[in-house]
Structure formats: structure tokens, C-alpha cells
Amino acid sequence: MALDRSVVEKAAGLARIALTPEEVERFTGQLSVVLTAVERLKEVDTEKVSPTASVLPVSNVMREDEIRPGLSRDEALANAPKGGRDGEFFRVQAVLEDRP
Amino acid sequence: MRELPRSIREAAELLRTRKASALELAELALDRSHRDAHNAWLHLTDDHAREQARAADVQLRQGDAPLLAGIPWACKDIIGTKRIPTTAGSRILEGYVPPYSATVVERLDARGAVMIGKTNLDEFAMGSSNENSAFGPVKNPWRADRVPGGSSGGSAVAVAAGEVVFSLGTDTGGSIRQPAALTGVVGMKPTYGRVPRWGVVAFASSLDQVGPFANTVEDVAIVCEAIFGKDPNDATMVDMPSDDLRRDLDKGLKGMRLGVPKEYFSVKGMEPGVERAVRDALKVLEREGAKLEEVSLSLTDHGLAVYYIIQPAEASSNLARYDGVRYGLRVEGPDLIETYRRTRGKGFGPEVKRRMILGTYALSAGYYDAYYVKAQKVRTLIKDEYDRVFEKVDALVTPTSPTVAFPIGAKVNDPLSMYLNDIFTLPVNIAGLPGISVPCGLSEGLPVGLQIIANSYQEGTMFRVAAAYERATPHHLERPKEKAA
């Protein structure tokens, strides 16, 4: 299927990836080729088939909810990006707007 | 001593007869690895290796050391290592230092194995040539202008070039078996659910498995014994004893039924030299007493499509965590969304971006049923087809990859032709089966791999076939002639 640039731009937006115009151009062409190959799946009759999410013969693995040692606060914060740590916290930009 | 022993068994013998110490083996491995001319390594961990080697020497002197004590190994840099950088081959994780080790690393540590360093790979294990690493491509020791395969190219090359005795990689669609084939070593992907993935950077969670590279089938089985088995930190596992892995290595092939899937030999782009080497291998297996049967896996052709929906879809979800908040790169913008976009736009390379876009598209409203659910249904059919074939045969024998190592740069701008490298390996991940690649000769002076696939949890059977083939041929002894710089 030939993709439109806008489809690539929309998916990149959903995936939160900034692309340059050249990347949009290049990926549109390359992904059109891949999607065309992938669309051959339509040929397979799957009317009475149920989907497989995992081949593992197990589900809902349970265990006792026991307290175990975890990471210390410093270990958990140690990889904070540059400018991303504020004492005991990760520093992030506001998610919600201030109330008027 | 100028060369490392070829196998774990040889090394263990040297260590136990005091002909070498673990520290000497570690120094030799470090020396060779520092002189590596293939860009196989991202970090060499000299001090850590020496410390582990000294501890192994103490254990060896006490006389109760495990088989892996003092054996130098290499770890793919997508497997987390405590206090040692782990990048997954990506700029977005440059400088990241895990606060804990993956369970597989802890298990090798506990057995006294000596980690020499972390190996290069395609970014987030996405690739078949190692050209997608943010830290430069790995070169094939057989010919410097050729790729080593991928994504575990560095781990394959570290073994092929004699820099370590074994290594760990990860295999989502062929990322252990294909580079093993292209560099002339043994590489193996276990049944889905046998190896803990705790501490391994997640790529496509219904497909990923950790597995070993080594020079011999027995070594691969020895490493599997060490890393197999349930881990309370990984809920996606089966509880299964692994005491049969080396039991049948010497049994030979008499009475075994081996399936030859005809669709694996009629693929466009299969090189005649590869087909010839694999056909010769089939004759050897027959001569050794196996009964060969042609079988049909009619959906082989559709494996690629199923894989290139499910794998990017799962990856697009897994890689959502790289948001510049808690670790890794952050490129700040005027607001949070813009920070996410800039961080990921700068931190991810082109192949990762392509797959994020493809996966997000396949999961998005209006397309989910047509792509993702459809692929999951065909996945059911592919699994069913393997199940039926394994009612008739003990194992399948196929080529590992349709080509030998191709020139660096040849396929990098043509994703689909790159993806076709894994046409024989990715159906095995789709069905969750174990697969191994063993060297089966040369074509154009470059190694060819023979893939053996067994039913789920039948690694013992798979090793039996692989070991019998190895004993019957000298191919596993061939080594690249190119010298390290």
C-alpha cells in the first residue's frame, strides 16, 4: 500500500517522535514497500481462527505479595537525565495547565 | 599461551590441571579484545574481569568450581549489568548504568564465569547486519567489508575472532542464529519461556529470548544449563527441568526422523552456494543414520508479514518508556510533549523510528483489526502447522539464512531486502520454538549456517542432531584467516 506523508506524520505524532521533513519523505517511501509486503496476509483465510498473543501455555502467574528489598531512592534516581533531578525527585515539566 | 582455548571443556581442563589460571585466560581475552579490529565491543570491563578471574582462581584452588568458573565470556549490550554501562546500541541510553544485573548475568556470575565486556549490536536489537548500531557497524572477521549479521553481531564476532570462549545474545527473529551463520560459529535460540528476561532491555516481548554463541554444540548446551530455569522476577516462563540438555549429545542419528521443509529451499534470493552447502549437510545427516522426510510448511512465506506487524507493534509499546524523564537522553522543549518528541527524535536512529511508526500505525484505531489481530491469527496457523509437522519428525533441518555475509552498506537503505535475511529464522520465534545454527561449510569463502529446529522444550533433541553433524564434519573448525590488527 502506498502510504501518504500525512499517515507517517500522524503515526510519528502518536509515537511522540519528532521527524525532519527528509525523514518523513524517506520513511513514507520505505514503509510503503514494507506495508505492501505485509498486506499479503489478506490472502490467508482466518475466519475461524483465534489470535495468538503468546505461545506460552501459562496465564495469570500468581505469587504471595511479600515485601522484598528494592532499589534505594538514590539508586532509582541515579540515572536521571541532566537537569532531571531535584533532590529526592525527578524534575519534569508540568503536565496539567494552571487553573485560570 | 597466545590463543584462547576453543571450548569450555578445553579451558576447564587447562584450569583444572593448573596449565592456566583464570586470571591468565582473562588477561589473554582482554588483550585480544582490546586489539579487536571489528568494532565488536562497546565497553571492555578490565577491572571487573580481573576481579571475577581472581575469585574464580580461588574457587578452582578449592577444587569445587563449576564448569564455567574462569571462562571468559562476552555480553550483548542489551543485557543489563550492574554498575556497568548498558546502551542497547542506542544514543537514547548512552551513559545509562543499570542498578541491577539481568538474571542471566547473575547466573553466570554465580558460576564463576568471567565477563570481559559488553558487545556491539543493532540499536535495540533491530537489525540483521549490525549497521544500525549508534556506535558504528561491526565488521565480519572473515572479510572486513562484510557485515557480521545482526542484531547480536558483536557477540558473534567476539567468539569467531577468538576473543572470548562464549557469549550471550538475544534472538527476536534470528538475531543469534543469523550472525552465528554469517560468522561461522554455533548460535542458539531457546524455546520461548526457558530463559529469564529480567534485566534484559525489552524489544518484542512475545518473541525475545536470550541465548548463547560458542564454538561447539556442547558449549552452547553447557551455557543453556546455566541460564535455563524459572525466575520469580519473570512471569513469562515455564517451569521445566533442564537435565536432559547434554544427555543425548553422543547418541548419534540412528532412527531419527528429520524433516526438510520444501518451502525453505524455494525462496527467492537464496544463493546457490548456500543451497549447495545445506544440501551437502543433509546428505551427511542421512549418512549418519537419520531418515530425511520432505515436509511442507506452507505458511513460511507469510512469516515475514506476521513478524513485521507483531514485532514493531510490541516494540512501539515497549519503547514508549524512553521519554527522557527517569533515565537516558533528555532534549528539553517548551512543553512536555515537545520534550518527548525531541528526545525520541534525537535519541532513536532511523531503523528504530521506522519500526516505531510502523508499530504505532498497526496498532492505531481503524487499523488494529486489519493488521495486528490478523497477524495474531496467522500466528496461530503457523504454530499449528509446526505442531502438525512435529507429530511426524523429531527435528527440522533448513538453511539459517538465504545468503552469506553481504557487503556493508548493500541493504541499509532497503528495509524489506534487509528483513528477508531472517526469512528462515523468524518463523521459529513466531512459533516460540528452539533453533540452532551450526557451521556447514563455506560459499565464496564465507561461512554458511545449517539451522536445526526442534519442538518446544526439545533442546536436548536439537543438540543431539547438531552434535552428530559436528562430529561428522570439520566445518566448525574453520576459522577466519584475517589477523586482528
Q: Which residues of A touch B337 (CB under 8 A)?
A: 16
**CATH at A36:** 1.10.20
Percent of chain B with pLDDT over 70: 99
Choose the closest CB to A54 out of B206, B328, B413: B206
Measured distance CA(B437)–CA(B401) in Å, rounded: 10
Q: What is the ipTM of this complex?
A: 0.94
Residue B121 near residue B147 (C-beta atoms within 8 A) = no
Tell me if A81 is assigned to some domain: no
pLDDT in tens, B110-156: 999 999 999 999 999 999 999 999 999 999 999 999 999 999 999 99
Tell me whether strands B209-214 and B166-171 are parallel, antiparallel or unpaired: antiparallel
Tell me if B336 is assigned to some domain: no
At B275 the three-state DSSP class reads: helix
Q: Across the interface, do B354 and A27 touch by the CB < 8 Å criterion?
A: yes
Q: Give pLDDT, residue A95.
A: 84
For the stretch B151-185, what's the b/e string if a residue is b when 16 or more beta carbons lie within 10 angstroms of its beta carbon?
bbbbbbbbbbbbbbbbbbbbbbbbbbbbbbbbbbb
Measured distance CA(B171)–CA(B203) in Å, rounded: 10
Number of domains in chain B: 1
Measured distance CA(B262)–CA(B298) in Å, rounded: 9
**Is the backbone of residue B71 left (phi > 0), alpha (psi -120 to 50) or beta?**
beta
Residue with cell 535460540: B189
pLDDT in tens, B300-320: 999 999 999 999 999 999 999
User: No. of H helices and E strands in chain B?
Assistant: 16, 11
Q: What is the DSSP letter of A40?
A: G
Q: Give pLDDT, residue A59.
A: 81
Q: Is residue B133 annotated as part of the catalytic site, yes or no?
A: no
Q: How many CB pairs under 8 A join A and B?
A: 174
Tell me if B40 is assigned to some domain: yes
Average pLDDT over residues B448-465: 98
Q: Give pLDDT, residue A1.
A: 74
Tell me if A31 is assigned to some domain: yes
Residue B370 near residue B150 (C-beta atoms within 8 A) = no
Choice between B95 and B214, residue whose per-residue pLDDT is larger: B214
Q: Give pLDDT, residue B209.
A: 98
Tell whether B347 lies on the interface with A, counting CB pairs under 8 A. Answer: no
Average pLDDT over residues B424-445: 98
Average pLDDT over residues B159-179: 98
Give kind and range of the element (H or E) at residue A26.
helix A21-38
Q: Across the interface, do A37 and B304 touch by the CB < 8 Å criterion?
A: yes
Q: Give pLDDT, residue A97.
A: 74
Q: Give pLDDT, residue B484.
A: 43
Phi first, then psi: give them for residue B442, nearest 5 degrees.
-120, 150
Tell me if A12 is assigned to some domain: yes
Average pLDDT over residues B331-350: 97
Q: Which three cell numbers stand for residue B436?
A: 540452532
At B75 the three-state DSSP class reads: strand
pLDDT in tens, B218-237: 999 999 999 999 999 999 99
Asked if the model's pLDDT at residue B483 lies above 90, the reply is: no
Average pLDDT over residues A30-34: 95
Tell me if B429 is assigned to some domain: no
Q: Across the interface, do A52 and B379 touch by the CB < 8 Å criterion?
A: yes
Indicate the pLDDT class of residue B293, thresholds 50, 70 and 90: very high
The domain containing residue A15 runs over which residues?
Answer: 5-42
The domain containing residue B34 runs over which residues?
Answer: 8-256
Q: Which residues of B touch A52 (CB under 8 A)?
A: 376-377, 379-380, 383
Residue B224 near residue B459 (C-beta atoms within 8 A) = yes
Tell me if A83 is assigned to some domain: no
Q: Give pLDDT, residue A99.
A: 67
Q: Which three cell numbers stand for residue B133?
A: 548500531
Q: Is residue B151 annotated as part of the catalytic site, yes or no?
A: yes
pLDDT in tens, B61-95: 999 899 999 999 999 999 999 999 999 999 999 88
Tell me if B230 is assigned to some domain: yes
Tell me if B352 is assigned to some domain: no
Number of domains in chain A: 1
Q: Give pLDDT, residue A20.
A: 98
Measured distance CA(B444)–CA(B465) in Å, rounded: 26
Q: Is residue B76 annotated as part of the catalytic site, yes or no?
A: yes
pLDDT in tens, A62-83: 888 999 899 999 999 999 998 8
**Is the backbone of residue B136 left (phi > 0), alpha (psi -120 to 50) or beta?**
left
Tell me if B432 is assigned to some domain: no
Tell me if A29 is assigned to some domain: yes
Residue B435's alpha-carbon distances to A52, B166, B424, B428, B458, in angstroms, are 20, 18, 10, 7, 10
Which distant-in-sequence residues (6+ apart) come within 8 Å of B187 by Cβ? B152, B156, B169, B171, B176, B177, B179, B180, B181, B211, B212, B213, B220, B436, B437
Find the catalytic residue in B33, B128, B129, B151.
B151
**CATH at B82:** 3.90.1300.10
